[in-house]
Structure 1
Amino acid sequence: MAVIPLAAHFHGDFVIKLLPVDSGDTMDQVAAAAAANAVGIHVADQPGRTLRVRKQGAETPYPRTTTVADSGLEPTECVEIYFE
């Protein structure tokens, strides 16, 4: 697999962060990686709520099992991560 750098905006965070992910990672794994850099630091945890990922500006999130490779995301494209 290949490392893909994505720009990640975690809802509630004031910083867009560069997030290196693997092309084989699922959206759940992308969300977890983004959460490690935001939840408890700039964003309050919301236990029991599911993290979701969507392409910046999209209304609907990716299915949780979609891989980065299958999503069609290009390097440095921005994704939004939020609690559902």
Structure 2
Amino acid sequence: MAEFPIMSNFERDFVIQVVLVDTEDTMDQVAAKCAYHSINRRVHPQPENVLRVRRHEDGKLFPRNMTVSDAELRPTETLDIIFMDN
């Protein structure tokens, strides 16, 4: 377990933020950590939708249970956090 910085490009937010996640966090946990910094601050909640994580560079959508270490991310890589239908 180690802290790992990512860039959070949260859907409907105009701020890209550095968020510290853990290498053993799942993508659902990454989305929740990023949501903490955007939802109810600059982004309205969408409780009817689920948050998903995708690689900004190529649009690859990560499985929700994939860990940060399994995703082979680079430090400070930009991830898009998006709302999707359940």
TM range (shorter): over 0.9
Paired letter, 1:61: L
Mind listing any 5+ residue stretches in structure 1 that lack a counterpart? Answer: none
Report runs of 4+ in structure 1 exceeding 2 Å deviation: 57-60
- Aligned pair 1:62/2:70, yes or no? no
- TM-score normalised to structure 1 length: 0.95
1:45 is aligned to 45
Matches of 2:79 and 2:26 in 1, distance apart? Answer: 13
What is the TM-score normalised by the length of structure 2?
0.93
Alpha carbons 2:24, 2:68 under 8 Å: kept: yes
Whether 1:16 aligns to 2:16 is yes
Aligned residues: 84
Residue 31 in 1 paired to residue 31 in 2? yes
Deviation, structure 1 residue 37 = 0.5
Where does the alignment leave 5 or more consecutive residues of structure 2 unmatched? Answer: none
| CA offsets 1:13-35 (integer angstroms, 9 cap, x no match) | 00100000000000000000000
- What percentage of aligned pairs have identical amino acids? 44
In structure 1, C-alpha distance between the alignment counterparts of 2:60 and 2:77, rounded to whole Å: 16
Question: Which stretch has the larger CA shift, 65-74 or 52-61?
Answer: 52-61
| Structure 2 contact 57–78 (Cα < 8 Å) conserved | no
